[in-house]
Structure 1
């Protein structure tokens, strides 16, 4: 089946009070692990390509790997550009066959964010591509996105309504306390559910997005440390908070850090235990299995999207 955009996917998620997982991809094994998990759980899926992935693997190569996945599995898959920093990059990905793009104008003024988002929306909608935008700033680091904790700003509910109405954007990434990478705020991770509920009440039926929503699964942090690493005791967003957000209008939840941790832990473990092995298939196989295990857990136990297709 062909790639799909996110419009119908989000409509069903909002009505069913669950979220669709959006997982960052960089190579074949990551894509295979994610897609295998989603197929077993009978869940829709968003595979997203970041700035770092575009530089590392080339979006055309990744698109062809995703096309292989949709030939192999009978599930709904959207191919999404994550954190597109300009109209030109969004346009390029749309022209290359992406079915969903994000324009990230969160570092711009409110009016400039609206202007470029609207430009992206007009180009994308004419080609049946959906658009995500961002309002507010998340702290943390993700590829080319780097925001200090003191510069983070939460999304203003009234501005969110104006932004959506003036741009026609299909979904909106909001800042309510998540963080790119490991948690960057003092104290324990907290989400501003009062703010989320306010935004949802002002935009009924409208799909919201959470970036920086990895839980930094400690089992993989510990495994990385045990097998030759030095990853500090980083924190992530508790999974029960993500599950609650999915019932309050959040229809897309992004995951990247947890995938990186699981893959790195599996590779380190294998190579420490098998130091004479130099066949990449031998250590990338367990890494793929670890990716699948994480994604299956997120879909089934956190996001609630199992059996949604």
Structure 2
């Protein structure tokens, strides 16, 4: 298992790395199979809710087993966490990367809290992602109202990176978590300005589900190194299960595997499409 820094070094000038949110452990083999078939590194992400549902240690064990089975480079990342104690638990359990999300706090407080996480994580060879600006939408129960969305201020981003020594930075440039009602409007000028002055830190695009393939390609060309995909996977998974067994009489009486197998295959297809898209 790798941290973000290792994956960024491995994929330097080759494109961005796909970061896929897993909602249940049944999804995991299909995600890893996709990366194996393409021979491309992958980031598997869990929300705090998923980590607590599955179990931090169990998630780590499963990822280790699958990475050895498929012989692929994988990073296990805790996404959008505001609880420093939970982040420390993830690190102690074996997660190789974490995100402290202090974007809703005043900048100085965000910096101070992120520094604490970085100090704890880096001593254990774990990478840290931070966030400056506020990305809107809903993800795993976390809701940011549209009126509270705040684009990343470049000067704040530079200060944040300098003071915290984070390895990756999520920026608010027009995307939103969850499912889009219309096409995302990316502020590419802002992205370019931040990217040109951020140094070695990997920029992260959250809310990748609603961004067009063309815009994702452009984001990668402007310096984005990690692209998060979550809502699209969850939506496809549920739709595939509903499509496979649309009527009560068709529901399996022997094993839930009959529900999951077609849905897992759909997840594999989506992950492969995204991993290919993110290559330069």
State the distance in 1 between where 2:62 and 2:144 align: 31
Contact kept in structure 2, 1:51 and 1:144, CA below 8 Å? no
Aligned equivalent of 2:185 = 190
Aligned equivalent of 1:295 = 271
**TM-superposed deviation, 1:237:** 1.6
Contact kept in structure 2, 1:135 and 1:173, CA below 8 Å? yes
Q: Which moved more, 1:279-288 or 1:55-64?
A: 55-64
Aligned equivalent of 1:243 = 217
**TM-superposed deviation, 1:68:** 1.6
Contact kept in structure 2, 1:26 and 1:56, CA below 8 Å? no
**TM-superposed deviation, 1:256:** 0.7
**TM-superposed deviation, 1:13:** 3.4
State the distance in 2 between where 1:11 and 1:70 align: 19
For 1:84-123, what aligned pairs fall within 5 Å after superposition?
Answer: 84-123=81-120
Give the secondary-structure state (helix, strand or coil) at the position aligned to 1:176. Answer: coil
Give the secondary-structure state (helix, strand or coil) at the position aligned to 2:227. Answer: strand
**TM-superposed deviation, 1:175:** 0.4
TM-score (norm 1): 0.86
TM-score (norm 2): 0.95
- 1:40-69 Cα distance to aligned partner (Å, 9 max, x none): 111111111102212322222222211221
Match of 2:149 among 149, 152, 158: 152
State the distance in 2 between where 1:13 and 1:148 align: 35
Match of 1:52 among 49, 57, 60: 49
State the distance in 2 between where 1:86 and 1:276 align: 39
Give the secondary-structure state (helix, strand or coil) at the position aligned to 1:272. Answer: coil
**TM-superposed deviation, 1:11:** 2.8
- Over aligned residues, Cα RMSD in angstroms? 1.5
**TM-superposed deviation, 1:182:** 1.4
Q: Which moved more, 1:273-282 or 1:187-196?
A: 273-282
Match of 1:31 among 3, 28, 33: 28
Q: Which moved more, 1:168-177 or 1:199-208?
A: 199-208
- 1:164-204 Cα distance to aligned partner (Å, 9 max, x none): 000000110000011110126xx642100000000011124
State the distance in 1 between where 2:241 and 2:228 align: 23
Aligned equivalent of 1:209 = 204
Indicate yes or no: 2:130 matched with 1:133: yes
Structure 2 unaligned regions, length at least 5: none
State the distance in 2 between where 1:23 and 1:59 align: 17
**TM-superposed deviation, 1:269:** 1.1
Indicate yes or no: 2:263 matched with 1:282: no
**TM-superposed deviation, 1:157:** 0.8
Structure 1 unaligned regions, length at least 5: 215-235
Indicate yes or no: 2:235 matched with 1:261: yes
State the distance in 2 between where 1:14 and 1:85 align: 29
Aligned equivalent of 1:304 = 279
Contact kept in structure 2, 1:155 and 1:174, CA below 8 Å? yes
How many pairs does the alignment contain?
278
Aligned equivalent of 1:13 = 11
**TM-superposed deviation, 1:31:** 0.6
Give the secondary-structure state (helix, strand or coil) at the position aligned to 2:102. Answer: coil
Q: Which moved more, 1:57-66 or 1:41-50?
A: 57-66
Which ranges of 4 or more aligned residues in structure 1 deviate by more than 6 Å? none
State the distance in 2 between where 1:92 and 1:283 align: 33
**TM-superposed deviation, 1:276:** 4.6
Q: Which has the higher contact order (CA 8 A, sep 6+)?
A: 1
Aligned equivalent of 2:173 = 176
Contact kept in structure 1, 2:23 and 2:234, CA below 8 Å? no
